Amino acid sequence: MKKFTITIIALIAVSCSDAGDEYISLMCGVEGDNVNLILNKENFTFDLYMPDDPNDIKSGTYQEQGKNHFQLMRGSFDAFGLYLDRRSLLLMSQDYYENCQDQDCSKSQSDEYAICKKIDLPEKYLNKASVKNQI
């Protein structure tokens, strides 16, 4: 009986999952200049693009850096120079990350970081990602 119950629960959980659950979708910006950052949690890849030009996508991989940061990379070892703080949702340059990784620097004024906020996964992106996965 326990195996049956566990199987039913697993099937319900899978059927209720949303395709957007595998993504973290953020809009990051400073003074009106925004970029969308889409992180794929399953394969640790990201896409970065301007909302008004979704065809110009910068892609790469990301990895955990310490306890609270992701490092965005282009190619296998090519650092993209960007870090995302998972606590404050700051997208920051490498220099800013090196100066602030052990403290909360989100209150300081700097042009070396952008404030991000969670957004719904853009429908156009989800459609494009599903087509890309089918190829």
Strands (E), 13-126: 23-30, 33-40, 45-50, 53-65, 69-74, 78-85, 90-93, 113-118
Q: Are 91 and 114 in contact (CB under 8 A)?
A: yes
| Confidence at residue 125, expressed as pLDDT on a 0 to 100 scale | 78
What are 6-40's pLDDT values in tens digits? 444 444 444 444 555 789 999 998 777 899 999 99
135 pLDDT more than 50: no
| Confidence at residue 72, expressed as pLDDT on a 0 to 100 scale | 92
What are 82-93's pLDDT values in tens digits? 899 998 899 988
Exposed/middle/buried for 131, CB within 10 Å: 0-12, 13-18, 19+? exposed
